[in-house]
Amino acid sequence: MNEDSQKLDNSNAGSEFSDEEIVKSHVELSKTKHEPTKNFLIAPLVFVFVFGCLIFVCSIQLAHSTNSFQLHPPVEVVELTAEEKEALRLERKISSGEKIFAARCASCHQANGLGIEGQFPPLANSEWVSADPGVIANIILKGLKGEIIVDGKKYGTSAAVNMAAVPISDREIANVSTYVRQAWGNTSSEVTEEFISQVRAEHSSRQDQWVGDELKALFSDSFGE
Amino acid sequence: MTTDSPDKIIDRSAKLVFSFFLSSAGLWLLTAAFFAYLAAAKLTDPFFLSTCEFLTYGKIKVAQANAFVYGWGGNAIFAVSLWILARLSQAEVRGSFFLIVAGVIWNLAITFGLLGILDGHMSGHEMLEMPTEVWPAMLISYLIITFLALVIHRSRQIKETIAPQWFILAALLWFPALFLIAWHGLEINTARGTLQTVLSMWYGQSLIWLWLTPVALGAAYYLIPAVLGRTIDKYYLAIFGFWCIAALAPWSVVHHLEGGPVPMWIPAIGTVMSIAMVFPIAVASTNFHATAFLDIGKVWDSLPLRFVIFGTLSYTVSSYIGVVFSLPAVAKITQFTIINEFHFNQRVYGFFSMIIFGAVYFALPRITGREIPIGAKSFHFWTSTFGVLLLLLAYLIGGLTHGVLAGQPSLEWSSAVIGSIQPYFLITKIAFVILAFSQLVFVVNVWRVIFPNPLSLLATGNKEASV
């Protein structure tokens, strides 16, 4: 074999432990616990100190990150300011109104709120919408018949149109009228649910649909007459 | 040394079994190296072998890990554990016939398992991808081998046991426990929902921590005193380190689920236990390095010990890096990056394989009575050291780059992020070529010592033919 390897093998052979020696000496070591020494042992102290610190760090970490062993992560609670809450509420109201409009109004008044000339009056830029909220509330609640003039053009037929033929709640009416009053460039005020209830109660005995002039007379202030 | 010394008799009894397991381990090592190269080549060139259905990246990658852990790891563990247990017990290896039969079954099971993987019959559980049909064969053959290892230990001369015996016996017994728990929870009585993911991940990682790691640690605890001729420094800590690994390692591995869809306490406990893993790591590295650095010249001169100390140093450094990566703040960056490759490769190449190489170079001349040329061993050491360091650094730096870049949504993925990781894939490809070459040298070294005759027969046959 190779010269070097022979030399290496021989040099090792002198001081190598036999297996019996390995076992016996280590068994002896584990009985005496540590090698006899003159000075006190630093290593165990260092180990105890380091391990103590580790246990401390681990406990803190465990207490902070296990989420009390719950199955689901904690729900994040975000505190909103009064203005943010108000803006969020209005946003939700308008988006709800938009859905109601799309489902129940857009077939005649069209999604862009421009209506169809001669038949269905526009809602965008219409004094009937931007007038007192009572006007739109009453029209939705009872319906409208006859002809009206919007933005200088004549609309409607003699046939009565009943917007509330399918039952609609006060809350839904409030949402959709708020949407209509603030969409397509309209900038009128919000309509509340309480206001709709009030209007409904006020005209509860009325059976017929409204006629345009009747409403104009009722809300003459806001039509500027 | 007289021919009738007890060590010689033990070595003679272990020779057949050791040679069998070691030569099959060598073949698996080369298989894994081949797959590793293919997988690395596919990452740099997606069209490489893209037309071959059996060699898609997903299959190759899985086949490599399985061939490496069960093929090379398993066979090497059998060879090294049986020999060290026999030597420390001063008892002969008995039941060689059954050991060989069990070994053949084990190797056949893995062969069919890998063919199943390449054919697309994967089970989909981490490190259990081999088709379920081969699992019983693996378990039964493993239990036979473990039983005969326990027989050796039972017939020991000295009743008290020491550190290498604890680690090796524990590893031998932990594997079937892990395997049965995973098998039960994943196939027999399938766990539902999140638990299945957790169990699958837990098995894959625990396999490395509770099977490969303790065997390598045990081998180091044996080789360092055996070569240096001195006892382990601060040996009284070893028992503490052993129980810490037993108690903490199976908990610590779940930190890999950080950020995953599991209850928060699972990765949180994993992180805490990973931090606590500093205990056993510190104990093992103190034991090994305090002993080795008392006589560093001798460590350098003895090639087996050089391998072992490289392995223990790599164990220490990479385990501490692993602890840092388990912290949630760091995991936020490194999770889902190629850092995962770093974890796997540092364990199986940088630590386990290096120590097994050392143990083999220590045991083989004693068992066969034939010395391996020092040049060949030295060449193997330097190429594998260089290859491992290159591989780990590429994965580490590449993984950090990957994590930092992937966390910036403004960057364009394919050009900016992938583009800047590409060079690291190229480096890992080169590293895998170097490692494959180095492992080829190892296998040739081993086979030349185990089977000197076929070559010489062939040579004389040629001479006669030419004459």
Beta bridge partners of A7: none
β-pairing verdict for A144-145 and A210-211: parallel
Chain B residues whose beta carbon lies within 8 Å of the beta carbon of residue A20: 90, 157-158
Weakest mean pLDDT among A76-85, A139-148, B143-152, B180-189: A139-148
Residue labelled with tokens 């090639």: B303
- Residue from B85, B233, B236 to probe the interface with A (highest A Cβ count within 10 Å): B236
Q: What is the pLDDT of residues B385-441, one digit of tens each?
A: 999 999 999 999 999 999 999 888 888 887 888 888 889 999 999 999 999 999 999
- At residue A161, φ and ψ (nearest 5 deg) are -115, 125
Band of pLDDT at residue B246, cut at 50, 70 and 90: very high
Contact B160 A27 (CB under 8 A): yes
Q: Closest CB to A51: pick one of B234, B279, B374.
A: B279
Proportion of chain B in helix, strand, coil states, percent, rounded to 5: 85, 0, 15
Q: What is the pLDDT of residue B141?
A: 96
Q: What is the pLDDT of residue B105?
A: 96
Q: Closest CB to A54: pick one of B90, B239, B275.
A: B275
- At residue B111, φ and ψ (nearest 5 deg) are -60, -50
- Residue from B371, B378, B379, B381 to probe the interface with A (highest A Cβ count within 10 Å): B371
Give the residue on B whose Cα is nearest the Cα of A46: B282
- Residue from B85, B255, B264, B361 to probe the interface with A (highest A Cβ count within 10 Å): B264
Q: What is the pLDDT of residue A15?
A: 61
Distance CA A201, CA A137 (A): 12
Chain B residues whose beta carbon lies within 8 Å of the beta carbon of residue A60: none
Looking at domain B6-448, which of 3.40.50.300, 1.20.210.10, 3.40.50.10440, 1.10.3720.10 is its CATH number?
1.20.210.10
CA distance A61 to chain B (A): 7
Q: Closest CB to B275: pick one of A11, A22, A57.
A: A57
What is the percentage of chain B residues whose pLDDT exceeds 90? 57
- The amino acid present at B246, given as its one-letter code, is A
Contacts 24+ apart (CB under 8 A), B282-286: B282/A47, B282/A50, B283/A47, B283/B237, B283/B238, B283/B240, B283/B241, B283/B244, B284/B217, B284/B220, B284/B241, B284/B312, B284/B315, B284/B316, B285/B312, B285/B313, B285/B315, B285/B316, B286/A43, B286/B233, B286/B234, B286/B237
Instruction: Tell whether the model's pLDDT for residue A200 goes beyond 90.
Output: no
N-terminal to C-terminal alpha carbon distance within chain B: 41
* ipTM over the 0.90 cut-off: no
CA distance A88 to chain B (A): 29
Greatest Cα-to-Cα distance within chain A, rounded to the nearest angstrom: 123
Helices B354-368 + B213-228 axis angle, to 10: 50
Residue ranges of the domains in chain A?
93-218
Q: What is the pLDDT of residues B17-70, one digit of tens each?
A: 999 999 999 999 999 999 999 999 998 888 888 888 888 998 999 999 999 999
Contact A11 B282 (CB under 8 A): no
Residue labelled with tokens 């396999």: B207
Q: What is the pLDDT of residues A121-178, one digit of tens each?
A: 888 888 778 878 878 888 888 787 777 777 777 777 656 677 766 778 888 888 888 8
Instruction: Tell whether the model's pLDDT for residue A113 goes beyond 90.
Output: no
Contact A61 B268 (CB under 8 A): yes
Q: What is the pLDDT of residues B328-373, one digit of tens each?
A: 888 888 888 888 888 889 989 999 999 999 999 999 999 988 888 8
> Cβ distance B354 to B308 under 8 Å?
yes
* Token pair for B266: 């699972």
Beta bridge partners of B319: none
Distance CA A160, CA B391 (A): 84
CA distance B406 to chain A (A): 25
Instruction: Tell whether the model's pLDDT for residue A32 goes beyond 60.
Output: yes
3-state secondary structure of B189: coil
> Cβ distance B37 to B433 under 8 Å?
yes
* Token pair for A3: 């010269």
Chain A residues whose beta carbon lies within 8 Å of the beta carbon of residue B167: none
Give the residue on B whose Cα is nearest the Cα of A25: B231
Chain B residues whose beta carbon lies within 8 Å of the beta carbon of residue A52: none
What is the percentage of chain A residues whose pLDDT exceeds 70? 84
Contact A61 B275 (CB under 8 A): yes
B413 vs A225, residue with greater confidence: B413
Instruction: Tell whether the model's pLDDT for residue A12 goes beyond 60.
Output: no
Q: What is the 3-state secondary structure (H, E, C) of B215-244?
A: HHHHHHHHHHHHHHCCCCCCHHHHHHHHHH
Instruction: Tell whether the model's pLDDT for residue A14 goes beyond 50.
Output: no
The CATH number that domain A93-218 falls under is: 1.10.760.10
* Token pair for B315: 């164990």
* Token pair for B111: 């062969």
Instruction: Tell whether the model's pLDDT for residue A9 goes beyond 50.
Output: no
Beta bridge partners of A153: A150
> Cβ distance A182 to A188 under 8 Å?
yes
Instruction: Tell whether the model's pLDDT for residue A6 goes beyond 60.
Output: no
Within A105-192, residue ranges assigned H as helices are 106-109, 127-130, 133-142, 170-182
Print burial letters for B160-194: b (CB count within 10 Å at least 16), e (below 16).
Answer: ebbbbbbbbbbbbebbbebbeebbebbeeeeeeee
Does the global pTM surpass 0.80?
no
A71 touches chain B (CB under 8 A): yes
A49 touches chain B (CB under 8 A): no
Q: What is the pLDDT of residue B361?
A: 93
Write the CB contacts of A69 (distance below 8 Å, at least 6 apart in sequence). Answer: B263, B265
**Closest to B226 measured CA to CA, from A11, A23, A6:** A23
